[in-house]
Amino acid sequence: MKTITLLSTVNFSPAQLDKLRAVSPQFDVQQMPNALPADVPAGLREQVEILYGWSKWVTEAHQYPRLKWIQTHTAGVDKLADTPIWRQADVLISSLNGVHAIPIAEYALAAMLAFRWKIRKMLAYQQRTEWAKDRWEEFTGPELNGSTLGIIGYGAIGRELARLARALHMRIVAVNRTGERTPQRTYAEPGIGDPTAAYPDAMYRTDQLLAALPQCDFVAVAAPFTPDTRHLINAAALAAMKPTAVLVNIARGPLVDTAALVAALRQQQIAGAMLDVFEQEPLPADSPLWQLDNVILSPHISGFTHKYDDRASDLFAENLRRYLAGAPLLNSVNRETGY
């Protein structure tokens, strides 16, 4: 029986490692948390067939001579796009697409509720120990019920957000590359998401974005970052949005043109934005975004959940089973589309 050496460069728990080992005795599961190729003993590096990790621990993956498959510890694979391993077409790449769907969809829902209820204004009154005199005028606003949510990128996150929004009786406009209602092919927790893309009231192609945006009271950006989606939300897109609309970015910072967004927020061209990701991270202290009173910022935390590694190891174990069987991997990355 052939031994297949698997190296994890993240800190899976003993129980999570046992989950991987239980797939088959063929797998020699090794773990070196945060290990760069230079840290890995030459003998081990030369045996690694499967590499699990993220960021710089996989961007140097070309240094593993027998490598056949990278399972990333992230949903996005944009950091791999300009690396030598990206050009090695014989090396499979799969992502953790879908592992973040629940927490990020909850974050987007929290963003919409925060603006619907003007939470920033509530906190300002609280800090001043002041009771608002004109409460009706200041805090009455449109309900989420009956409002329209635009979801740009209808993958695992977008589909779970649509499920939550549908429960609140929101109208849903979805935008994806093809404009088609395709089945969900990525990993998903049982019972969540939108497997058949049934929830949107309307679907648009990405090149029809400017036709979709004027309908939306909230716009959630959940598309993958590729060269084609850089600055997808630009000055023209912001101009197409309602002046009462709120933008929520839960994807990658470069999907939104920061300069155009700052201008739109300053001019009240849109009502506000809740941003978890930025073109430059950490967000510089001199960024004008910090000073705008119609913005809520968070430090790229929307995918955080204590269930992350459990879900990641579940997905990885399933992909190990598929790898042994020669079956298609979950979340297999298409190098042409970039995701």
Q: For this structure, is 300 an active site residue?
A: yes
Residue owning tokens 């430059």: 280
311, 290 Cβ separation under 8 angstroms:
no
Point out the catalytic residue in the list 300, 318, 322, 335: 300
Point out the catalytic residue in the list 46, 143, 180, 281: 281
**Cα–Cα distance between 51 and 11 in angstroms, integer?**
13
Half-sphere exposure of 43 (CA within 13 A, CB side): 1
Q: For this structure, is 100 an active site residue?
A: no
Point out the catalytic residue in the list 100, 159, 177, 252: 252
- Looking at residue 233, what DSSP letter applies? B
Q: For this structure, is 163 an active site residue?
A: no
Sign of CA dihedral 278, 280, 282, 285: negative
How many other CB atoms sit within 10 Å of the CB of residue 291?
10
* Rg of the chain over all Cα atoms, to the nearest angstrom: 22
* Ranges of H-type helices in the chain: 14-21, 42-45, 56-59, 101-116, 119-127, 135-139, 156-167, 209-212, 235-240, 258-266, 308-325
Which positions are catalytic? 252, 281, 300
